[in-house]
């Protein structure tokens, strides 16, 4: 039985599959990051979606670093959040490639593998409303609510097929929606759009005190 360990607490067990190193997807590796403007990020932090509660602005985007031992124990650095430990374990077990994630009503989480670094990986945790605010800030009011949702699903690593199932629409509807949105925003594909937005969200997460 493999397990996980939260820093500063006793080890606890959770079934995990054998450890394996993921390979970064070619799209994510080659997509150029955007020029990041601090002022734009500050404005995004104070978007109406988070400005109603100042405490929500800081910490709306953060990284949770972790390591994984040879016997698959997960060590969370700087937190004792059992929920995040279990989420990391689930993502590692489900998808060992770069960028696996999850989207729910409260948050967007994306897993980053760093097999050659001091840490095996980091989990990007973003408040969903703050992520929506950043998307609105970046693209203005050109996007519909369904298009914002599609972008969030893409950030979480969901395929169009899975997004269609989750939204209970046909894959043709999702493809049409994606094509129209990309044409409107001037991006060649969802992968490039995802890389640009993840770079911005990652910069915000790295800057969070």
Largest Cα separation within the chain, whole Å, is 52
In a domain, 68, yes or no: yes
Quick one: 20 exposed, middle or buried, by C-beta within 10 A (0-12, 13-18, 19+)? exposed
What's the domain range around 166? 3-10+34-207
- Provide the pLDDT confidence category of residue 116 given band limits of 50, 70 and 90: low
pLDDT in tens, 123-144: 999 999 999 999 999 998 889 9
> What is the spatial distance between Cα 7 and Cα 74, in angstroms, rounded to a whole number?
9
Q: How many domains does the chain have?
A: 1
In a domain, 17, yes or no: no
The residue whose two tokens read 């209970």 is 168
Against a cut of 0.85, is the pTM above it? Answer: no
In a domain, 173, yes or no: yes
Where helices occur in the chain by DSSP H, the ranges are 26-30, 38-45, 48-51, 54-57, 82-94, 128-139, 145-155, 160-167, 171-185, 190-207
């Amino acid at each position: 039985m493999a397990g996980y360990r939260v820093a500063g607490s006793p080890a606890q067990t959770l079934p995990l599959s054998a450890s394996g190193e993921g390979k970064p997807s070619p799209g994510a590796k080659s997509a150029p990051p955007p020029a990041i403007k601090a002022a734009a990020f500050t404005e995004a932090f104070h978007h109406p979606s988070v400005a109603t509660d100042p405490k929500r602005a800081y910490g709306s985007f953060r990284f949770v670093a972790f390591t994984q031992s040879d016997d698959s124990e997960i060590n969370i650095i700087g937190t004792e959040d059992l929920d995040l430990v279990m989420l990391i374990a689930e993502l590692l077990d489900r998808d060992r490639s770069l960028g696996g994630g999850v989207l729910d009503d409260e948050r967007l989480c994306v897993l980053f593998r760093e097999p050659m670094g001091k840490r095996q990986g980091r989990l990007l945790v973003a408040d969903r409303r703050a992520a929506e605010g950043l998307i609105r800030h970046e693209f203005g009011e050109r996007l519909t609510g369904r298009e914002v949702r599609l972008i969030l699903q893409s950030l979480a690593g969901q395929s169009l097929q899975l997004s269609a199932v989750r939204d209970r629409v046909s894959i043709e509807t999702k493809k049409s929606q994606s094509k129209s949105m990309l044409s409107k925003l001037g991006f060649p594909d969802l992968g490039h759009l995802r890389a640009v937005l993840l770079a911005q969200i990652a910069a915000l997460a790295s800057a969070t005190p």
